[in-house]
Amino acid sequence: MPNKKAWVKRRKRKRMERKGEAAEDNWLIYFHSIKNVCPWSYESYKKGRIYITEFTQTKVIETEENWTMDKYDAIVYTTQMSVDELDTFVEQRNDEQDLCEYLWSHPSYTKGGKNQTQTPVIIQQDRKWLMELRNARSKSKRRI
């Protein structure tokens, strides 16, 4: 039998891998569940074009300053902010610049659609691209 330290280390690594897979499954389920309000997010997530990472204000601002859609359609920052903190941060970022659009979601807040995330998040997207998607969607709805 291999030494106990090596066995414990492998077991811990496998547990962390399973935890990561479970988190990935949760995001897949979430993006599928919001297809009615954000139809492009599910496909973007499946293609690996939504990056999910932990929030730091520095990371958000640095990403914003170097914004490009070459790698990702959106970045989702997980955080432990309250609803008020999320709202304040997102409003400030949207007011201070025009390149990115910020949205937020919190498990305890819904506008009635039950589309909130399981953890508080800030979503960073390209403002111009998002407006094009919204305009195309509203035009297709008018044709129906």
Q: Where are the domains positioned within the chain?
A: 4-143
125-135: per-residue pLDDT in tens? 999 988 888 78
The mean pLDDT value of the chain amounts to: 84
20-79: per-residue pLDDT in tens? 444 667 999 999 999 988 888 999 999 999 999 999 999 999 999 999 889 999 999 999
pLDDT band for position 139 (50/70/90)? low
* pLDDT reported for residue 22: 45
pLDDT band for position 5 (50/70/90)? low
* pLDDT reported for residue 115: 87
pLDDT band for position 87 (50/70/90)? very high
The answer to whether the beta carbons of residues 92 and 84 sit under 8 Å apart is no
